């Protein structure tokens, strides 16, 4: 029986071979993950170092994971992200091992959260993660959005993370919002966050007519129709209070 071994490091401590092994796994499972994207996300992080893990079986990299530094409400926070396990190593306790070694690295008092997909969600629940909320996309205007998410996105965060050719700004009733078209032409755009005017003007203006939708944790009739498409917010701790949902979604992913 093969033994699974874990190498867990802060991004400030990794070497070229470690990054090569981590990258090999995530590209094998997901594709994408350009060198530039990995550098921006993990090594140019505005908050500081993240934690990365590589799992080895018979001295070969078979799993990769990270607790990505992504602070919330001025609190040190880490998002479980980029979890990848090569097929022949699945159902061997790799995900459980990731959680154990990563948690041993994180300072006490930090907030640890994630947004797993449907395949990995139940694995996290089994390990003891708590579901904080379930978000679905609903149609609504900026006023309702502001009631749920009063926190603006900072210019520093937008410059670092909100990139791509599908990102725009809109202006509604004197307020500025970043939106995403999702890389496709449709009758709606997804509202990312409210920002100050100087932040908005870093992006092109969206000038077409479209519905504005955003992800809400409220269980409306539309939520019930779209439940299977919902985005989970899980955490190792309890509810952190007002949580900007754009800290969960992959707006900084390559487009």
Q: Which fold has domain 4-114?
A: Aminopeptidase (3.40.630)
Q: Which residues have a Cβ under 8 Å from the Cβ of 94 and sit 6 or more positions away?
A: 4, 55, 62, 63, 85
Q: Which two tokens stand for residue 63?
A: 């799993």
Asked whether the beta carbons of 155 and 196 are under 8 A apart, the reply is yes
**Domain locations along the chain:** 4-114, 135-232
Q: How far apart are CA 202 and CA 173, in angstroms?
A: 20
Of 106, 28, 13, which Cα lies nearest the Cα of 63?
28
Per-residue pLDDT at 186: 66
Question: Side-chain half-sphere of 69: how many Cα atoms within 13 Å?
Answer: 22
Per-residue pLDDT at 255: 47
Q: How far apart are CA 38 and CA 21, in angstroms?
A: 13
pLDDT in tens, 100-134: 999 999 998 899 988 887 677 777 788 888 877 77
Question: Side-chain half-sphere of 48: how many Cα atoms within 13 Å?
Answer: 7
Asked whether the beta carbons of 202 and 160 are under 8 A apart, the reply is no
Which H or E element spans position 83?
A: strand 77-85
Q: Which two tokens stand for residue 199?
A: 């932040």
Per-residue pLDDT at 173: 86
Which residues of the chain fall short of a pLDDT of 70? 1, 118, 137, 139, 183-186, 219-231, 237-242, 249-250, 253-255
Q: In which residue are the tokens 């041993």 written?
A: 104
Q: How far apart are CA 158 and CA 163, in angstroms?
A: 8
Q: What one-character DSSP code corresponds to residue 46?
A: S
Asked whether the beta carbons of 46 and 156 are under 8 A apart, the reply is yes
pLDDT in tens, 177-193: 999 887 666 678 888 89
Per-residue pLDDT at 181: 85
Q: In which residue are the tokens 């959005």 written?
A: 145
């Amino acid at each position: 029986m093969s033994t699974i071994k874990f190498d867990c490091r802060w991004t400030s401590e990794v070497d070229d071979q470690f990054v090569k092994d981590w990258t090999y796994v995530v590209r094998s499972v997901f594709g994408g993950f350009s060198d530039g994207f990995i550098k921006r996300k993990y090594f140019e992080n505005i908050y500081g170092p993240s934690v990365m893990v590589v799992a080895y079986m018979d001295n070969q990299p078979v799993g990769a994971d990270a607790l990505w530094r992504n602070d919330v409400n001025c609190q040190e926070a880490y998002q479980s992200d980029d979890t990848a396990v090569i097929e022949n190593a699945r159902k061997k306790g790799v995900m459980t091992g990731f959680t154990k070694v990563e948690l041993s690295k994180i300072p006490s008092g930090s907030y640890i959260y994630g947004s797993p997909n449907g395949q990995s969600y139940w694995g996290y629940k089994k390990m003891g993660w708590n579901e904080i909320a379930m978000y679905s996309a609903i149609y609504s205007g900026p006023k309702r959005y502001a009631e749920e998410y009063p926190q603006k996105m900072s210019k520093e965060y937008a410059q670092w993370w909100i990139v791509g050719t599908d990102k725009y700004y809109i202006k509604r009733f004197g307020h500025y919002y970043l939106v995403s078209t999702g890389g496709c032409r449709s009758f709606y755009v997804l509202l990312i966050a409210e920002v100050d005017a100087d932040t908005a003007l870093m992006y092109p203006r969206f000038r077409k007519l479209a519905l504005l939708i955003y992800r809400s944790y409220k269980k409306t009739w539309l939520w019930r129709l779209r439940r299977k498409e919902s985005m989970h917010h899980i955490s190792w701790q309890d509810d952190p209070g007002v949580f900007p949902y754009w800290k969960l979604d992959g707006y900084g992913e390559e487009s």
